[in-house]
Amino acid sequence: MAVDKKFIGKKYPPVEYEVCKEKVKEYATAVGDLNPLYMDEQKAQQSRYKGLIAPPMFAVVYTKDAVAQVMFDRELALNLPMLVHGEQEYEFVDVVRPGDVIVTEAYVADIYEKGDKDFVVAGGISKKKSDGSTVTRGKWTFVIRR
Partner 1 sequence: MAITAKIGDIFTLQKEVDKYRPIFYAGASGDFNPIHIDAEFGKMVGLGGAILQGLCTMAFVMQTVSEWSHDPYKVKKLKVRFAKPVLPEDTITITGKVTTIENSTARCELIAKKQTGEEVINNAYAEVDLG
* C-beta closer to partner 1: residue 14 or 86: 86
Give the binding site for partner 1 (CB under 8 A). 23, 26-27, 29-33, 35, 37, 48, 53, 55-57, 60-61, 64, 81, 84-95
Q: Shortest distance, CB of residue 22 to partner 1, whole angstroms?
A: 11
Phi-psi region of 76 (alpha: psi -120 to 50; beta: other; left: phi over 0): alpha
Q: Shortest distance, CB of residue 44 to partner 1, whole angstroms?
A: 12
Q: Shortest distance, CB of residue 138 to partner 1, whole angstroms?
A: 10
List % helix, strand, coil for the chain (3-state, nearest 5).
30, 35, 35
Contacts of 69 (CB under 8 A, 6+ apart): 12, 13, 15, 106
